[in-house]
Amino acid sequence: MTDLVIETHGLRKEFRSRRGVRVAVQDLDLAVPAGGVHGFLGPNGSGKTTTIRMLLGLAGATQGTMRLFGQPVPSLLPSVIGRIGAVVESPKFSPNFSGRQNLTLLARSIGAPSSRVDAAVETVGLTGRDGDRFKSYSLGMKQRLAIAATLLKEPDLLILDEPTNGLDPAGIREIRETIRQLGESGVTVLLSSHILAEVQQVCTSATIIGNGRMLASGRVDDLIGTSTSYRIGVADPSAAAEVLGRAGFTVSIEGGLSVDTTEPARVTETLGTAGIWLTELTPVRADLETVFLELTAGDTLGGSTEQDR
């Protein structure tokens, strides 16, 4: 049985206001195995950040249970918080303090040596600017500082909520590499992101949520699925479609000839026997974006509202 670093069962979060009750997260069963990078995907307002905030004790759950490293939270959160680094939403630091002052205060609160501040500053590439006030930082620098703060704990679990927001392409690549390296070094990373290509490149597994509910979860390869469709290039697509149809293949000629099959060799054989020679036989692979859009189609922003509670 795989050790789960993050585990939720029947997690629910309601926000009450005069307009009624808004359900941000409902019946969420999240399971993040130890090691690797786990993507946490969902449209805006789907409940990703709320889930992360509940896991970290910043918001209370209306219902359900949560465990981090096997410990129930929030009751035993203090026993595991030292192993968790997190960036939740936008970086939040004292604007009039320098980046180094902000990190120093956080490091002192956990008894970390000042050398760890130096190391964190260097890791995220803020050396030379760490003495500047936080409010003078660009969004990208603020993100780097937030990531530096997570590294102060030398965490076993890193929870990153949109960590590349505001970074330039080089910065995005650096952070992506950092995340990949952390995942490979045994740190479990929960990466909440809208950049699906990034998740697909970095993550080994992912959970997709919409309207506060889990829509899919598993290894990224499994979510995308094995390719069953092939694009075919021939001189006469109509003739080829007729031949393949007669042989029992499911064929589509819209947007180019394609065939659904798990036996591409039979396609070659069938067309060759009919004297039709292939110029192309390319597997059409689904990507995470396609899966994400299919799963989250029709989701409304900000969870569901229950008026009569």
Partner 1 sequence: MRRLVGVELTRLRWRRAVLLLVAGAVLLPALIGLARVWDTRPVSDTERAQIVQQSQGQINACVDRPRQYGVRKSLPADQIESRCEDVTVGWQLRDPLTLAGERSGGSGMGVVAILTALLLLAGTTFAGHDWNSGSMSNQLLFESRRGRIWTAKALAVTLSALAIAALVSTAYWLAMWATMQARDLPMVDGALTDSLAYGLRGAGFAAAAALGGYALTMLFRSTVATIGVLFAVSVAGGLVIAMLGLSEHWQPQKNVAAIVKDGTTYYVNPPDSCFIGERANAVVEDESECDGERNLSLWAGLGYYGLPLLVTVGASVVSFRRRDVP
CB of 198 to partner 1, least distance (A): 23
Give the single-character DSSP code of 81.
G
The answer to the question of residue 153 lying near partner 1 (CB under 8 A) is yes
The answer to the question of residue 283 lying near partner 1 (CB under 8 A) is no
Tokens 């290894």 label which residue?
Answer: 219
Task: For residue 123, give the H/E element and its range.
Answer: helix 114-123
The answer to the question of residue 97 lying near partner 1 (CB under 8 A) is yes
The answer to the question of residue 190 lying near partner 1 (CB under 8 A) is no
The torsion angles phi and psi of 293, rounded to 5 degrees, stand at: -65, -35
The answer to the question of residue 166 lying near partner 1 (CB under 8 A) is no
The answer to the question of residue 101 lying near partner 1 (CB under 8 A) is yes
CB of 216 to partner 1, least distance (A): 28
The answer to the question of residue 149 lying near partner 1 (CB under 8 A) is yes
Within positions 36 to 55, which residues make up the interface with partner 1, using CB under 8 A?
53
- Binding partner 1 by CB under 8 A: which of 24, 28, 88, 223? 88
Among residues 68 and 224, whose Cβ is nearest to partner 1?
68
The answer to the question of residue 267 lying near partner 1 (CB under 8 A) is no
- Binding partner 1 by CB under 8 A: which of 11, 81, 147, 199? 81
- Binding partner 1 by CB under 8 A: which of 5, 28, 37, 59? 59
* Residue count of the chain: 309
The answer to the question of residue 141 lying near partner 1 (CB under 8 A) is no
Tokens 């595991």 label which residue?
Answer: 80
Q: Which two tokens stand for residue 66?
A: 């949560």
CB of 123 to partner 1, least distance (A): 18
Among residues 58 and 253, whose Cβ is nearest to partner 1?
58
DSSP string, 242-295: HHHHHTT-EEE-TTS-EEE-S-HHHHHHHHHHTT---SEEEEE---HHHHHHHH
The answer to the question of residue 25 lying near partner 1 (CB under 8 A) is no
Among residues 73 and 251, whose Cβ is nearest to partner 1?
73
Q: Which two tokens stand for residue 230?
A: 């092939």
Tokens 């950049």 label which residue?
Answer: 195
118-143 in b/e form (b: 16+ CB < 10 A) is eebbeebbbeebbeeebeebeebbbb
Torsion of CA 147, 148, 149, 150, to 10 degrees: 50
Q: Which residues in this chain contact partner 1 in the complex, by CB under 8 A?
A: 53, 56-60, 74, 77-78, 81, 84-86, 88, 90, 92-97, 101-102, 104-106, 108-111, 149, 152-153
